[in-house]
Structures are given as C-alpha cells and as structure tokens.
Amino acid sequence: MISMSESFCQSIFDDYLGEKLHIQNKVWVPYPNGKNRPPDFDLTIDGNKYSVEATDTQIMLDDRWGTVEKQTFLSSRKEFIMQIKEEAMNAGILNGFYCVFSLIPWSFPLKKKVKQEIKKSILDYIKNTKAMTDASPKTIMKDNKSLFQIFKQPVSQNGLSFSYADGAWPDSTKSQAYICRILQDAIDRKYSKLSEIPSPRILLVKNTYPFSTRSAFEKCLPKLERLSFYHSIYIVMDDLKSSFFLYTGNDDWNK
C-alpha cells in the first residue's frame, strides 16, 4: 500500500494533469517492481510510460546528536506548536495563516513554565491579529533571549506552520540557500535510487518547508545539478493551485 505522502503527491499531480493539462488517458500502477523497489509508480499517458518517484524535502540538521535524539527533540517541538494550533482552532481565533519559527537551536530545551509563556504569547498574537490580512512579526523573548518569531501571511487558508530553520526569514539569503539545499538533497537522494530505472523519470517533490515559494524554488534552477536525469520535476505544495512544474522536458506540460 502506498504511503500517505506518496498518495498525496500522486493525487495532486494527477489532478494537475487532468484539470490543467486536460489529460484524461492516464493509468497509474503503484510499486510496479515491488513495495521496496523503485519507482513508486508507473504512469502511462497516451501510451507513453513514465517512472514516477515521490519524495519529501527533508530538514537538514547537524550530526552532533544521534537519530533518536533528533527525532525526540523535533517531534516534541512540533507537537508543542501543533497543540497551540489546535487550541487556537477550538477557541475560534485561528483566522488566516501563521508561521512560527525557532530562533534557538533545535536541541535547546524548553522548561514547562517557559513553554506556557510561549503558548500564551502565540495565542495572544493570533487573537489580536484575527481580523488582519497580514501582520508584522512578533519576537517571543525570555530573559533577553529571542526564542521564537511569529507572523501572519496573506494566505486564504487557516493554519499554523512551524520551521526548524533557525532564524531564517522567508526572503532572506539564508532562507533561499536553505531551500536550494533541501531541494538538491531530494534530487540527489532519488538520483541514486533511480539510477537503474529507465527514463523517462518524473520526480514529485513534496515541500515541507513553510517558507518555500514558487519563486524561491525557481531561483534554485541555475545551480541545481542532475536536472537532465529527470524528464520532469514537479513541486507539490499544500494544494493543486500552488503546485507546479519546476522543470519539464515537455513544454506543453508547463502551463
């Protein structure tokens, strides 16, 4: 059975082919070579067969800690933010899309009292900006140390995202470099996995970094390696409207 991430990528791409490109004659076959062997799908369009692999962009962390420690810290931090999101939704104050990102190292411990103060600050910001389209960022501090920043984006959907990329503003040079880094990593990981799979190959990349935009991804193109290995690279965002071809060998597809 295909994973939720693979299924989501397939669904968005299938909708793109059908709704935007008006391609109806398409057949998907999951795991044509078996569950643990690439590709994730065979896709046949008008008699032309493509090998399709789906992947996520992955958060890039240093290696000072082991995998278990990393997963423990990251899961705990993300769960904390998602609990705040749920509380805001239950209170009826989550109106718009908010971004929270860390100004402290991912492994920095947060005491229970400090977490309660952070939660209150985030919920107060969400409540106070409920009627606004967007809002200036707020820095959450403790003992003169900046811990988190939150801001509201002019996006129609309601949500609260969290980034582990410490201190990276969406339009900053650091954020742009980070986006290119995780994108190249996704391309490289699947390059190795698909090296024995015949072309044409399509790579579906599910974005996991909340500050990524189409413009930011496209700025990476001149520096990306191994693009020609793929027939197409399709970036899967939160929905069909914002998803797009980063690169394709078929000009008719890039609409």
Q: What is the per-residue pLDDT for 168?
A: 46
Distance from first CA to last CA of the chain, Å, rounded? 32
CA 222 to CA 118: how far, in whole Å? 40
Chunked into runs of 10 residues, the chain (255 residues) has average pLDDT values of 82 94 94 91 95 85 46 69 93 92 73 92 96 88 88 82 60 78 93 92 88 89 95 92 93 82
DSSP conformational letter for 20: I
Which residues of the chain form CATH 3.40.1350? 4-59+174-253
Q: What is the pLDDT of residue 123?
A: 97
What SS3 class is residue 101?
strand
Predicted local confidence at residue 72, as pLDDT: 57
Return the pLDDT at 146.
86
Whole-angstrom Cα Rg for the chain: 20
Concatenated DSSP letters of 131-195: T-SSEEEEEEEETTEEEEEEEEE--SS-EEEEE-STT--TTSHHHHHHHHHHHHHHHHHHHHHTT
Instruction: Please report where in the chains the tokens 């920043």 appear, as a residue.
Output: 149
3-state SS class at 1: coil
pLDDT of residue 164: 62
Contact 246, 221 (CB under 8 A): yes
CATH number of 4-59+174-253: 3.40.1350
Q: Cα(32)–Cα(56) distance, rounded to whole angstroms?
A: 21
Global pTM reads: 0.64
